[in-house]
Amino acid sequence: MPSEVLGYALSRSASNSDFLDSKLSDAKTSLHKELEKLIRTATPEKQTSWRNQFDSFENLFESYLSTDSQVQWDKIKPLPAGSVKCYSELTNVTDIERIREALGKLVVIKLNGGLGTSMGCTGPKSLISVRDQSNFLDLNVQQIQALNKMYGSDVPLVLMCSFNTIEDTEKVIQRYSQSNIKIHVFLQSTYPRINRETLLPVASSTELDDAWYPPGHGDVYYSLHESGYLQKLLDEGKEYMFLSNIDNLGASVDTNILSFLVNSSVTAPEFIMEVTDKTRADVKGGTLVEYEGSVRLLEIAQVPKDHVEDFKSVNKFRIFNTNNLWMKLSAIKRVVEDRTLQMEIIINPKTMDNGLNVIQLERACGAAIQSFEGAIGINVPRRRFLPVKMTQDLLTVMSNLYSLNKGNLIMNPARSFPSAPLVKLGEQFKTVKEFLSRFDNIPNLLELDHLTVSGDVTFGKDVTLKGTVIIIANHGTRIDIPPGSILENKIVSGNLRILDH
């Protein structure tokens, strides 16, 4: 944790230990008083809910005050043998009855708390159209519909929403009422942003505005339990959960992984993390390591500055977390109720519109791997990781690199490489509206390796991009790629505009 956040060093020598303990106690006491004031601004029927959330937040805040968020690099060790299993080693299960039985124990939970602001959209990110007029939610519903139809199963889809997304999401899921899939939502916690200097909440009431935030997907365990939905699932005979980001279009239910989880021996893992091999585009992704005797998820935010390049090394850390997670529901219940759930804190600094510097305390759901018995990773094919975070990701999923089949994106068999190209689009392509306005239609990317586009660039119809293509329109210039162009291993710069005649 940065020392400047607390206003004093974190060194705990004998001479200043008492002083630091006093400062920590003062900060906790001051926060508690302010949270009690906030609770009193809520309606009586909502005060209990706020108090429960704030109890959890105070525990998080205390950990933030007393724990250094960075790891000690010399304590990181290679993973023990058997910590990561190769997907190809799993049994290819074809017995329909066996698959149906396993699916009967499964619930699919999608993380649906994010807004589409990073791509210039308002409302839930899950409602952005990504392919053939279908949005993320549509594609996830189609995947599970097809699964239930194929195996005669009844796998439900559960969405963890934030206060930013729940209202719009509940409206949209009404249109799936006639489908063969049960869709449920539950609300994750709402926490107060903290003034970076005073370490006190910015909010003056429980009215939800930009003084509040949803605390990351690590909140899923607590919120699932607190909502009562975890117990409801257990009462219905559900035993396992598949959890993933709703914007990862590769995160469909894999019956081989499920069967491995359900049919393992007495030492079956309580937690499975899907990992996959790093590429140049994934150097910042969290990875699995051994740390102080347990398997841990190491995120770049935890890495000391002088070791960041080591962390990014594809040779040293060859896998990264896809955030596709499989867990036993009974184990989640145990670690929450026994208070043995451990996750490192992510300190997310923000600047509000009024210029105030604040911090958000968050946790990543994958970091919980250390809390479960027999937890392992499975190194899965790249097709299991197909996230859409920015418009440059939209370009690949909308292109002829993929076809759409029952909500699943299938890599074009005509492509020579199993992975998607590396694409970097400049600021002029940042929003979905701007992105779409710059393409008459999506180029042919089947043989593309790497694309970089910067500046005022537009693409005509039926453009083909192959190999490595770099297009740079310098300040004050514009480049129009003519219709039908084929660019192969080309660098285009300067000013190029084809006038209509």
Q: What residues are annotated to the active site? A: 389
- Whether residue 276 contacts residue 305, with contact meaning beta carbons closer than 8 Å, is answered with no
244 sits in the region (left: phi over 0; alpha: psi -120 to 50; else beta) called beta
DSSP one-letter code for 188: P
Distances 330 to 230, 333, 470 between C-alpha atoms, Å: 9, 5, 52
Specify burial of residue 439 (Cβ count, 10 A radius: 0-12, 13-18, 19+): middle
The phi and psi torsions of 216 (rounded to 5 degrees) equal: 80, 170
Please give the Cα distance from 27 to 361 (Å, whole number): 15
- Cα-to-chain-centroid distance, residue 443: 28
Strand ranges (DSSP E) for 293-443?
294-298, 319-328, 346-351, 357-362, 376-379, 402-405, 408-411, 422-425
Exposed / middle / buried, residue 492 (Cβ in 10 Å: 0-12, 13-18, 19+): middle
Angstrom distance (rounded) from CA 385 to CA 140: 14
What one-character DSSP code corresponds to residue 216? Answer: -
Residue with tokens 């710069």: 493
Residues in a beta bridge with 493 = 472
In one letter, which amino acid is 338?
A: D
Strand partners, 161: 112, 187
Question: Which strand (E) or helix (H) includes residue 230?
Answer: helix 229-235
Q: Apex CA 309: angle with CA 303 and CA 313, to 5°? A: 105
